[in-house]
Chains A and B, each alone.
Chain A
Amino acid sequence: MNEIDISRIISAVKMLCMEANYLIDPIVRERLQIALKKEESPIAREILEMILENHILAHEKQMPICQDCGIAVVFIELGQDVHIVGGDFYEAIQEGVRRGYSDGYLRKSIVSDPIFGRKNTQDNTPAIIHTEIVPGNSIQITVAPKGGGAENMSEIRMLKPADGIEGVKKFIIDCVRRAGGNPCPPVIVGVGVGGDFEQCTLMAKKALLRPLNEPNSVSEWAEVERNLLARINELGIGPMGTGGKMTALAVQIIQKPCHMASLPIAVNIQCHAHRHRSVRIR
C-alpha cells in the first residue's frame, strides 16, 4: 500500500494545467514542420509559419499557445494499491485546476449552466475527470485542455453493422469535411469505433492521447488510420480551411468490442494546438 497525500495531487494538476497550455507536444510540432515542407499554397505556408512561431513565443513568454485554454479534461490511472490521504481525491483535482488556471493566467471558459444565466464559474472548474483503476501503486495524471472550437465539431453516430468499414470511413471523412476550417486545422482526428454509446465518445477522446508517431497496434486498424489520413488530406481543406494539402496531422483510432446489433462511431476533433501533459506520482 502506497500512501499519497492530496497535496501532491493538487500541485501536480496545477503544474500540468500550466505546462499543457504553454508547451506544445514536440511530435505535433515536428508534424507541423513536415506539413510546412509539403504545403505549396502560399497562404497555407504563411499560416503554418505563424503557428510554428507562436509555439516559440508561447514557450519564451510562458503564455498560453491559444487564448482558449479549454475545458480541463483530466485522465487518471489510479493504481489499486494506492491509498489517498489528506482529503477528497476529486476535490484535490478540482483545486489543482483552480490554482493552475488562476496562477497560470489561463482563460477560464466554463459556465455554470448550459442554458440559464451561463455565468462563468471564475476558476475553470468543474474539470471533466475520467478515472481508471489499474494494477500498481502509482497514479498517472494527464491533463488535456480541450478548446471549444474543435470540441464543437465532434460527432457520434450509431451505425448499422451492415455499414461496415466503408460506413465507418465515410462517417469520419464527412465529419472532417463538415468541420472545415472551424476546428483550426491541421487537426488530429480521434476516433472511437465500438463499445457502447458513452464509451465510444470517451474512446475517441482518449485516442487523441496516443503519441502521434505510434500507429494502432492492430495492423488492419493501422492501415485504416493511414488510409483515412491520406483521404482526409485530399479534401483540400488545408490549414485554417484556406485550402491546401495538410488538413490533418494524424488519425488515431481506438476500437473495442460492441453489441452484435451495434456499430457505434465517434469522432473527436482536436485542433493543431494539441495540448496534453502527463505525470506519474509514486
Chain B
Amino acid sequence: MKKIRVHELTTPLTAESIGALKAGDKVLLSGTIYSARDAAHKRLIEMIHCGESLPFDLAGQVIYYLSPSPAKPGMIMGSAGPTSSYRLDSYTPALLELGLKGMIGKGARGREVIDAIVKNRAVYFMAVGGAAVKMVQSVVFARLIAFPDLEIEAILELKVEKIPLFVAVDASGSDIFKI
C-alpha cells in the first residue's frame, strides 16, 4: 500500500513553502489561520468592491471555512470541522488575487477556483468533515477579529498546532476529487 507523504507547514504560506505539496499529501499545519464562511465571504467581497481595507491582510494567509459550536466553560472553542467549500467558489478567486494562499474546507471546488489556485500558486486543503472534536484538539487560541454582527459567522483568528489536513488541490491544479 502506498504511504501518504506528510509535510509540516507553518503560516504564513509562500509559493515556495507550498511548492512541494501534491494532491493527496497530508499536511500538519501550524500558525495563525482565519475562519470565514458564507456571510463573512460576502462581506469581504463587498469591502473589496468598495475599496475598503480588509480586517486582516490576506497575503500568505489561510482561511478555514468554519463556524464552530460554542465553547464549553474552560475551553477555547467548541467542535470545529469544515463546511462545504463549493458555496464559497464564487468569492474565492478575488481573495486569491489579493494574496490568499490557502483555503481549508471539504468537497470539490469549481473550475474557476482551481484555475485561480494555479494562477496564484495557492493550495486548497481538505479537512475531515464530521471529525470536529478531533480538529479542535489542534486549536490553541481563538479570538473574534471582525464582523461581530455576523455572530457565529464572524471572522475568528485561530492559532493552530499541527492541525491535520489533506492537500485537495495543489498549486499545479491537481485535484484529489478527480484523481
Contact = CB atoms under 8 A, between A and B. Distances in A.
Interface of A: 40, 42-43, 46-47, 50-51, 53-54, 57-58, 61-69, 105-109, 118, 120, 148-149, 152, 180-182, 184, 240-243, 271-273
Given A106-B69, A107-B70, 17 more contacts: A42-B2, A46-B166, A47-B128, A50-B164, A57-B137, A63-B136, A67-B68, A107-B69, A149-B84, A152-B84, A180-B108, A184-B106, A241-B107, A241-B108, A242-B166, A243-B176, A272-B130
Prevailing SS type, chain B contact patch: loop
B50 interface: no
Prevailing SS type, chain A contact patch: loop
A105 B70 contact: yes
Contacts of B20: none
Contacts of A46: 4, 26, 166
A118 B150 CA distance: 10
Interface of B: 1-4, 24, 26, 39, 66-72, 78-81, 83-84, 86, 106-108, 126, 128-134, 136-137, 151-152, 164, 166, 168, 176-177, 179
B160 to A, nearest CB: 15
Given A64-B78, A105-B78, A181-B177, A42 B69 contact: no
A109 to B, nearest CB: 8
Contacts of A69: 69
Contacts of A181: 106-108, 126, 177
B139 to A, nearest CB: 12
A240 B129 contact: yes
Given A107-B78, A107-B152, A181-B107, A65 B132 contact: yes
B37 to A, nearest CB: 11
Given A105-B71, A182-B84, A241 B177 contact: yes
30 contacts: A42-B4, A43-B26, A43-B176, A47-B131, A53-B134, A54-B131, A54-B133, A57-B133, A57-B134, A57-B137, A58-B79, A63-B132, A64-B133, A65-B130, A66-B81, A66-B132, A105-B69, A105-B70, A105-B72, A106-B70, A107-B67, A107-B69, A148-B83, A149-B129, A180-B108, A182-B106, A182-B108, A184-B129, A241-B106, A272-B130
